[in-house]
Structure 1
Amino acid sequence: MEVKFDFSPFLIQYKSGRVQRFMGTAFVPPSLDSCTGVASKDVVVDEGIGLRARIYRPSRRAVVGGGGGRLPVLVYFHGGAFVVESAFDPVYHGYLNALTAREGVVAVSVNYRLAPKHPLPAAYDDAWAALSWVLENARPGAGGGEPRGARGRAAAAAGRARCRRRGRGCGGLGMGAAEDAAGPAAEDAARDGAGAGVRRRVRPVAEDAARVVARLTAAAAGA
């Protein structure tokens, strides 16, 4: 099989289009974690592009012990330089179980699409669509996090459209291994502008990563 781009020890892309990854391919299913009491489940954010996420919820005892009420929402983007790893990797799964229990948050780990099969800005679009989906489902009466057919697809599509209009400013949401709370409550963050602050903080790092991946993508295309 002819090689198009050798990015060892991470991956090899073949001229047939097949991508062979050498790390970040392990999968662990959602579960009720016996150590922390955190429950996780997988949801579909956008059926059309296969965008998924894993939601982590602290135990009921932890919520009541923390005073009850509404929980902060944390949106997490796994590392891997946009080319390897996934939200369902055992390392990230264990980390988010521990983080959710320790901080008393609802965590949403986004499984964005990976290059080179899905070159940038696909991961940026996915990240922004996922954040839009979280904001939509965090509103009172939204129904608990599962996309509701056309509504779920429309929220994701609207997120991608906003990302394209905003251009480079959306890059912050595609930063690998970055996590930020979407606010004390997700819709409160949108209202008080915290989301914009998150984008300003992570944008320089995300743009550096984007330039590296762009060079790799260009090298693969010219190989």
Structure 2
Amino acid sequence: DRIFWESKKFEGLTDKFEPWYGTAYSIEKVSSSKIQAWMSSAPNENLHLPAPNVFIPKDLSIKNAQEEVKFPVLLRKSSYSKLWYKPDTVFSTPKAYVKIDFNCPHAGNSPETEVLGDLFARLLLDYLNEYVGLSSLLMPSFFLWHSSAYYAQVAGLLYGISHTDSGFEVTLVGYNHKLRILLETIIDKIVKFEVKPDRFSVIK
């Protein structure tokens, strides 16, 4: 058995160099006395199992499409929304792609509204970052994309927010079994969204 211990505290105390990258290291045998000292020491409270991850999927079954569908089908229509759906008939994976377009009446009417719309998307993502605790990435075409909360990220779920000509859109990608939990969490945060003056000064 081997134990790998990496630390900046070992700088200057090593006696070997890895030939490909020049990484400094040392090798030593672990004495029985050191093992005994480890076994008799008090448990470290920082070493523990992570909290249960509600985003990890348990149902990975494939939803078989009844028939080949080339284009999205309108499933529901109301005075304020439309729901389109297209099953995956190519990759056959237990994953889903969800996109929600929020249309704002005055979006794209002028250069000013374009700037305000982009600023809104950035502020909204910054607000969500307080929940997820991760930095966002600014991608080409002003697409704001980042992984969700750490637990959602390790479970294979991602979401993005982008400014559009008609408002903004929320996109989610990942295993479909628990994607709804992430979606409901994001929508709840959007409903409670508030612009903080200090963050506005940074984002603008």
TM over 0.5: no
Per the normalisation by structure 2, the TM-score is 0.25
Per the normalisation by structure 1, the TM-score is 0.24
Q: Specify the structure having the higher radius of gyration (Cα).
A: 2
